[in-house]
Structure 1
Amino acid sequence: MSASQGAKDQVGRLLTLVPYLNARGAVPLQDAARDLGVTPRQLLSDLKVLLMCGLPGGYPDDLIDVDLDALQDPDGDGVIRVSNADYLARPLRLTPTEATAVIVALRALRNGSGPETREVVDRALAKLETAAAEGSEAPRIDPGAEVDADLALLATRLQDAADRQRQVLLTYYVPSRDEESERRVDPRGLVTNSGFTYLDAWCHSAEAPRLFRLDRIHRAEVLEEPIRTEPEAPRDLADGLFARSDETTRVTLLLDPPARWVVEYYPVEDARPRDDGTTEVDLLVADRRWLDRLLLRLAPHASIVRPDDLTGSFTSAAQATLRLYS
């Protein structure tokens, strides 16, 4: 192993070691080595490097302190004790410039790293990039948010697939049909809207671009097959999930109180509560069949206000459904 490769792997081990020690406190060297999958000798070597890590400044009070006497002295008890690292338990605050510098450094480290090191680096990158994407002046990075970290790790893998122009096989949950479907897609990149992150991709099943919400992706397998469509940048969602085009129709619905959940569940252009308890909502609809299915679910608590020509489509769908019962 080259010196460069050895240094990269050691950084990966340290990224695992620090939260491990922070969560467990004092732990025997033998137990820690077993849990981390390294030899006690290697772990001791890593701890000596940890002595030189800490907050910016490099003064003794800024660096992490490891009780090496307990590990190297013949009379020592062989227990790892780390001090002057209380700040590791607090959410880290970075300026955008600092966060960018760390992200760039981690991406450089990731290139050429082994699978185990790459997994650790990917988790760190996922947390940093998620925090930076929030756009706050000083992003908060919570090392303990495992669920969010898993989602952010998925985002990192999907963005990497988009950067490398590789197809992805998705298992995706469709709420409107309450079912999972398998989709082969050409990823274009990640976009955010209303607090959710989406994969913008060309869907081979639909033969059209689609948005896939990350928290509804149950499985994502990055394939080695290159994308089949021309590479494109992800769409801009500044104007909402459904950009206005010739293929979309602005539809106004009148909702009774039992159907008011539509406002919370679907992206609507506008919602206007009325004195009688009903609500008028405006939606952009790209597929009349989707609108018919929605109205069938809401019946009899929703009706089309405008445009009038869509009422006939829903009436026909409702009559066809009733015929199935007779």
Structure 2
Amino acid sequence: MTSVSSRLVRLLNMVPYFQANPRITRTEAAVDLGVSTKQLEEDLNQLWMCGLPGYGPGDLIDFQFSGDTVEVTFSAGIDRALKLTSPEATGLLVALRALADIPGVVDPQAARSAIAKIAAAAGTVGHDDTLAAVNNQDAPAESRAAGAVRAAVRDKRALTIDYYAASHDTVTTRTVDPIRVLLIGGNSYLEAWSREAEGVRLFRFDRIVEATELDEPAAPPALTLQAPPDTSLFDADPALPAATLRVAPSALWMLEYYPVRDVRELPDGSCEVAMTYASADWMTRLLLGFGSAVQVLAPESLGQRVQATAAAALTSYESYEAHEAHEA
């Protein structure tokens, strides 16, 4: 996450930089931008593929190269202030509001300030509402631990964290070298090298009780920085129960919205799937909502739970109907 965001910021600044420094050499530009000449070439090639809708000749950012020098010949408007359409502003506001509520991803106060400015520029709120959004005292504040972790990731500093392990109901102290922040299933995680475990671990932000930045740089092994995030454990956590379900054709849309796996299509058009769940109560409510379109094949205990809950609901409804009829 950090490397992608850093490159995006650099790419957005490169066109104005080259316009302000016409015919600068690649070597000089690489030094100024803090990258290698190889990375600079990759960035220029990336920018060549960016531009205005249409994305044909005359729409894309263009450069002129003379010897080792670089000069911008067409900026595609990237050097001008961005003007958002109403749908674009709405989409950006929704995304910012979602990020502001997830610990560790962004500074909530900065996000709320950006939200207020975008909303005001889009004409959806007045000036007083803008100030209120920025200064809202009731808005959730970032915890000290989340702020410390976010700063350590940004500054590439090592950390000690007190972490609550829900599976063991214990709090342990770890020394970690931050790698990046990840968003998985609506939760934010710190991906870091755990010195105690000598391996990469994911730490959920809302379970980091305390965090203290150390007076030393983060030093995760180089291979962990080059490797993509490993989120495979979220595909099928062996510590969580799993249900085998038969899903009728009318309910196959659930495969797009819920974490199902091992999908097997049956001759009648239905599917047999495996689905991991953390809460039996939540799973029961979900299955009741599908009615007869989703059948529990295993475990038997879940099927019995769904049947018992449905029977209890039906009894309550019949009692209510009888009471209403008697009152009438």
What is the TM-score with the length of structure 1 in the denominator?
0.39
TM-score (norm 2): 0.39
